[in-house]
Amino acid sequence: MEEVTVQEPVVSMPRIGDKAPSFKAITTQGDINFPEDYSGRWVILFSHPADFTPVCSSEFITFASMEDQFKEAGCDLVGLSIDGLYSHIAWLRTIKEKLSYNGHTNVEVNFPLIEDITMNIAKQYGMIQPGEDTTKAVRAVFFIDPKGMIRTIIYYPLSLGRNFDELYRVLQALKTADEFGVATPADWRPGDDVIVGPAGSCGAAKDRMDGKEDMTCQDWFFCSKKMDKDKVLKAIAKK
């Protein structure tokens, strides 16, 4: 008898630089048309494995406590799991009424939490990773810019809670790169030096090394310049 080979499901996901896949969904804040409803603003779409779980609860308390901070930087938050709407509502009420984390209590989650019981959206965004779990979304994070383009993707396993200071830093760095046409080095934060792109010609490389441009060059390809912290923060606020 011929042996039947069972094909593993293909896990697809959009890539950096792709248009964010569109979908319509029910959320705890009403219906949304994504990402069209967020046109002109940055938005972070993130998934969590399940309602009424401790790591996810700590994450939602943290994100909700930082929501104003993200909004002031011109960025909205949208969560997703494959649980149903009533489960979402009950869980968010429990978070507000009973849970505390890292000094935050009585936290109300005001950003939308998507119902995705069919897993259609999670699969569309590659949030279901069969090697990790076939019935829960991993902790995916998509940064989507005002034009609806995916700019950064970060994935965490089920057991690992996210670093929300890093998520905020990524947003600041992306907006700084767009605003000033620079790159940001390892561990960059507003006020640190930024990276200037490599010289495009031998003449430009020589000018840099001769100190003819307003930057510090360790070699022709590794140049940085100072960027005033207040200037950066003002430029990226609410854009």
DSSP string, 70-100: HHHTTEEEEEEESS-HHHHHHHHHHHHHH-E
Residue 130 CA, distance from chain mean position = 22
Instruction: With CA atoms as reference, report the closest residue to 43 among 33, 54, 53, 55.
Output: 33
199 in a structural domain: yes
**Residues of the binding site:** 139
Same domain, 36 and 105: yes
Question: What's the one-letter identity of residue 199?
Answer: A
Question: What's the one-letter identity of residue 130?
Answer: P
pTM summary value = 0.90
> Among the options 56, 75, 217, 223, which is catalytic?
56
Same domain, 32 and 131: yes
- Domain residues for the domain of 124 are 23-162
Centre a 10 Å sphere on the Cβ of residue 76 and count the other Cβ atoms it contains.
Answer: 18
Those residues whose C-beta lies under 8 Å from the C-beta of residue 139, and which sit 6 or more positions away, are 46, 47, 48, 49, 59, 155, 156, 157, 158, 160, 161, 162
**Residues of the binding site for substrate:** 139
Total domains in the fold of the chain = 2
* Beta bridge mates, 79: 46, 113
Buried b (16+ CB within 10 A) or exposed e, 123-135: bbbbbbbeebeee
Last residue of a domain, one of 119, 136, 162: 162
CB 58 within 8 A of CB 27: no
* Tens-digit pLDDT string for the chain (239 aa): 566 555 555 556 899 999 999 999 999 999 999 999 999 999 999 999 999 999 999 999 999 999 999 999 999 999 999 999 999 999 999 999 999 999 999 999 999 999 999 999 999 999 988 888 888 899 999 999 999 999 999 999 999 999 999 999 999 999 999 999 999 999 999 999 999 877 656 566 666 666 656 788 888 788 899 999 999 998 888 66
202 an active-site residue?
no
**Domain containing residue 229: CATH number:** 3.30.1020.10
Same domain, 138 and 189: no
Q: Is 52 helix (H, G, I), strand (E, B) or coil?
A: coil
Here the tokens at position 81 are 């799991």
d(CA 41, CA 152) in angstroms, rounded, equals 15
